[in-house]
Amino acid sequence: MAAVSVLRAGDEKFHYSDGSHRWTAPDPEYDQEVWEEQVRQHKLGHLRNERPRVRIRRIG
């Protein structure tokens, strides 16, 4: 199952151009520990807003 991200204004710094999440800060001077917490919070935001877009029915 693939994850899908919906980019919102201001989310660009957390994503690469393919929509995947950045694991390292884009600026080498940025505090990596702070960055990791920001990414964690950002990803939690995706999960809170996640809604199924299709209904899956089992056959059989």
Classify residue 13 by its DSSP letter.
G
Q: Where are the alpha helices (DSSP H) in the chain?
A: 32-48
Please give the radius of gyration of the chain, using alpha carbons only, rounded to the nearest integer.
15
Question: Distance between CA 5 and CA 14 in Å, rounded?
Answer: 11
Q: Cα separation of 51 and 35, whole Å?
A: 26
Residues 5, 19 contacting (CB under 8 angstroms): yes
pLDDT in tens, the chain (60 residues): 455 545 667 778 888 888 788 888 888 899 999 989 998 888 888 777 766 566 666 676
**Cα–Cα distance for residue pair 51/57, rounded to 1 Å:** 16
- Confirm whether pTM is higher than 0.85: no
